Amino acid sequence: GNSVTQMEGPVTLSEEAFLTINCTYTATGYPSLFWYVQYPGEGLQLLLKATKADDKGSNKGFEATYRKETTSFHLEKGSVQVSDSAVYFCALKGNTPLVFGKGTRLSVIA
């Protein structure tokens, strides 16, 4: 079945540091891939998405590239801010409902 594996946290970074959160997936067919973000006390918000191989999703300085050859969709940001502190979820959707990774908590300190 479809599954998503993302790096375990928590991840703690200083402001302006480079961020990478790894995500790999297993799926049949050609799923769409998503990153969602959850700020404290809130629901999940879509951060970015990609629908086919080599697509790059980007939003708010975050980006991720759909790599079919490595079945990966790693999230990156060049310079994180304190306001980026949140839990990040990688997810995929194909012919089944959305499947999530377990989430990675990011804390950014000033």
Partner 1 sequence: DAGITQSPRHKVTETGTPVTLRCHQTENHRYMYWYRQDPGHGLRLIHYSYGVKDTDKGEVSDGYSVSRSKTEDFLLTLESATSSQTSVYFCAISAVWDGGEGQPQHFGDGTRLSIL
Binding of residue 9 to partner 1 (CB under 8 A):
no
- In the set 28, 45, 79, 81, which binds partner 1 (CB under 8 A)? 45
Report how far residue 74's alpha carbon sits from residue 50's, in angstroms, rounded to the nearest whole number. Answer: 12
76: which 2 tokens? 């990156």
For the bound state, the minimum distance from the C-beta of residue 12 to partner 1, rounded and expressed in Å, comes to 18
Which listed range, 12-20, 26-34, 73-81, lies at the site for partner 1 (CB under 8 A)? 26-34
Binding of residue 31 to partner 1 (CB under 8 A):
yes
Binding of residue 56 to partner 1 (CB under 8 A):
no
Report how far residue 10's alpha carbon sits from residue 108's, in angstroms, rounded to the nearest whole number. Answer: 11
- In the set 23, 64, 103, 106, which binds partner 1 (CB under 8 A)? 103
102: phi > 0 → left, psi -120 to 50 → alpha, else beta; which?
alpha
Kind of pairing between the strands at 11-14 and 23-26: unpaired
What b/e sequence results for 9-20 when a residue is b if at least 16 CB atoms lie within 10 Å of its CB, and e otherwise?
eebebeeeeebe
Binding of residue 92 to partner 1 (CB under 8 A):
yes
Sites of contact with partner 1 (CB under 8 A):
29-32, 34, 36, 42-46, 49-51, 89, 92-95, 97-98, 100-103
